[in-house]
């Protein structure tokens, strides 16, 4: 474990955090559905039912045309017949899931095969669900609404992640019940490794402890909880609880323990502060570093550990700092440096 310092900020008065989409927003009219079936009667029945419900419908009658239309149109959901001549539905699903452009599209299998091995094969091929033949349009519509809502939430999370990356933020999603990292951006992976060491598939223990402490208040009071901070040298990593991802599981009794939470991370470096102290007080780079840690309240032994030097060396640097600043004590040096920092960097936090 490295020398990471853990701190927590005071309660924030920030606006309410984002929550999951309301239940009534189950489906946007105009969702694009691709029906893949080689039986005209099945296609006609589903087409009419979907069209009446406000969906836009595309049709493919074989595996090859299904792949082509899915790639070109990128439907919101696919209703896929499992058994077709030539390329069957299982192979179609595998190819769609193997392609980056279509991997996100939920696939609901339609099958007359009810044996467990066939149903398992449908799910293994990438299907999110299945309906058995003869098709019941109301059942299909109900299943579709569930998976379309889930797909929109997942896509929204991806878009949020990309937007955060573009502005220099890192983000992770943590499942509270077991601490599992459900996903993380490349930048987040690098930062977690730097501050906490290799964490593998689990969130670092201090982060998980902070998350579990504040999830109930985040859900019940709808306010942003105190941020969590970790320090590594002159670098500081902040963690902000952003929003709950998806609905809680049925066994969730209201405390958020079974849900996933999006955490936004931002690293701030005080290297610019150290550099400005060196320029303003005509200090060497190492003298500026020593003064910085004096301002942060560190004793010589702590500073030596941070800088990889001996306490005696730190003491010599500090004596030269006192001379250049015209002071005799570390308290006076810290006060002078802090006043100068706040004049140059008004928003800097000690």
In a domain, 27, yes or no: no
pLDDT of residue 165: 56
Say whether both 236 and 304 belong to one domain: no
pLDDT per residue as tens digits for the range 8-20: 444 444 333 343 3
In a domain, 221, yes or no: yes
pLDDT per residue as tens digits for the range 130-188: 888 888 888 899 888 888 887 776 666 566 656 555 555 788 888 888 888 888 887 88
Say whether both 142 and 191 belong to one domain: no
In a domain, 149, yes or no: yes
CA angle 183, 188, 192 (to 5 degrees): 105
Distances (CA, A) of 298 to 37, 128, 233, 269: 71, 55, 12, 18
Q: What is the pTM of this model?
A: 0.46
In the chain, how many domains are there?
3
pLDDT of residue 163: 58
Region for residue 256 given its phi and psi (left: phi exceeds 0; alpha: psi -120 to 50; beta: otherwise): left
In a domain, 11, yes or no: yes
pLDDT per residue as tens digits for the range 193-204: 989 986 678 899
Say whether both 55 and 150 belong to one domain: yes
Which strand ranges, in their side-by-side order, compose the sheet holding 107-111?
A: 56-60, 32-36, 77-81, 107-111, 129-132
Give me the half-sphere count of Cα atoms (radius 13 Å) on the Cβ side of residue 217: 12
Among 269, 295, 329, identify where a domain stops.
Answer: 269
Percent of the chain with pLDDT strictly greater than 70: 79
pLDDT reading at 314 higher than 90: yes
Contacts within 8 Å (CB) and 24+ apart, 10-13: 10/226, 11/225, 11/226, 12/223, 12/224, 12/225, 12/226, 12/227, 13/223
pLDDT of residue 30: 59
Say whether both 251 and 294 belong to one domain: no
Say whether both 73 and 146 belong to one domain: yes
In a domain, 68, yes or no: yes
Among 108, 132, 155, identify where a domain stops.
Answer: 155
pLDDT of residue 120: 80
In a domain, 46, yes or no: yes
pLDDT reading at 117 higher than 80: no
pLDDT of residue 8: 47
Q: Which pLDDT band holds residue 266 (cuts at 50, 70, 90)?
A: confident
pLDDT of residue 155: 65
Among 217, 251, 269, identify where a domain stops.
Answer: 269
Its domain, for residue 259, covers: 5-21+169-269
pLDDT reading at 25 higher than 80: no
pLDDT of residue 301: 92
pLDDT reading at 114 higher than 70: no
Coil, strand or helix at 209: helix
Give dist(CA 230, CA 292) in Å, integer: 18
Give me the half-sphere count of Cα atoms (radius 13 Å) on the Cβ side of residue 139: 11
Coil, strand or helix at 265: strand
In a domain, 12, yes or no: yes
CATH code, domain with 179: 3.30.450
Say whether both 279 and 264 belong to one domain: no
In a domain, 26, yes or no: no
Say whether both 44 and 148 belong to one domain: yes
pLDDT reading at 302 higher than 50: yes
pLDDT of residue 253: 39
Higher pLDDT, 79 or 220: 79
Beta bridge partners of 236: 231, 268
What is the arithmetic mean of pLDDT over 267-286? 87
Spacing of C-alpha 317 from chain mean position: 43
Q: Which residue has the tokens 């040298």?
A: 233
CATH code, domain with 115: 3.40.50.2300
Say whether both 122 and 56 belong to one domain: yes
Say whether both 79 and 94 belong to one domain: yes
CATH code, domain with 339: 1.10.10.10
pLDDT of residue 254: 46
pLDDT per residue as tens digits for the range 54-101: 888 999 999 999 999 999 988 989 999 988 989 999 999 999 988 888
- Is the CB of residue 203 less than 8 Å from the CB of residue 178? no
Say whether both 329 and 317 belong to one domain: yes
Say whether both 190 and 260 belong to one domain: yes
Say whether both 43 and 103 belong to one domain: yes
- Is the CB of residue 231 less than 8 Å from the CB of residue 349? no
What is the arithmetic mean of pLDDT over 238-256? 59
């Amino acid at each position: 474990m490295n020398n990471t310092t853990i701190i927590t900020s005071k309660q924030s008065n920030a606006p309410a955090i984002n929550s999951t989409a309301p239940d009534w927003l189950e489906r946007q009219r105009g969702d694009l559905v691709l029906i893949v079936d080689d039986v005209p009667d099945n296609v006609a029945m589903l087409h009419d039912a979907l069209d009446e419900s406000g969906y836009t419908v595309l049709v493919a009658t074989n595996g090859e045309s299904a792949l082509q239309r899915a790639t070109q149109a990128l439907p919101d959901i696919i209703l896929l017949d499992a058994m077709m001549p030539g390329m069957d539905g299982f192979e179609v699903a595998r190819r769609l899931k193997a392609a980056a452009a279509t991997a996100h599209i939920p696939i609901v299998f339609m099958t007359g095969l009810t044996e467990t091995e066939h149903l398992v094969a449908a799910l293994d091929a990438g299907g999110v669900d299945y309906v058995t033949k003869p098709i019941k349009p109301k059942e299909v519509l109900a299943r579709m609404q569930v998976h379309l809502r889930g797909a929109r939430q997942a896509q929204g999370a991806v878009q949020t992640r990309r937007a955060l990356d573009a502005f220099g933020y890192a983000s992770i999603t943590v499942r509270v019940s077991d601490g599992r990292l459900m996903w993380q951006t490349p930048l987040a992976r690098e930062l977690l490794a730097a501050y906490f060491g290799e964490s593998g598939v689990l969130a670092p223990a201090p982060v998980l402890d902070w998350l579990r402490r504040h999830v109930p208040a985040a859900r019940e009071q709808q306010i942003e909880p105190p941020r969590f901070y970790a320090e590594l040298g002159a670098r500081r990593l902040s963690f902000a609880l952003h929003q709950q991802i998806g609905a809680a599981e049925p066994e969730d009794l209201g405390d958020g323990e079974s849900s996933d939470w999006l955490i936004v991370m931002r690293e701030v470096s005080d290297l610019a502060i150290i550099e400005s102290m060196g320029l303003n007080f005509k200090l060497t780079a190492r003298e500026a570093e020593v003064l910085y840690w004096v301002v942060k309240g560190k004793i010589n032994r702590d500073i030596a550990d941070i800088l990889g030097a001996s306490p005696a060396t730190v003491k010599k640097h500090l004596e030269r700092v006192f001379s250049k600043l015209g002071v005799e004590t570390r308290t006076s040096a810290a006060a002078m440096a802090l006043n100068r920092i706040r004049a140059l960097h008004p928003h800097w936090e000690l």
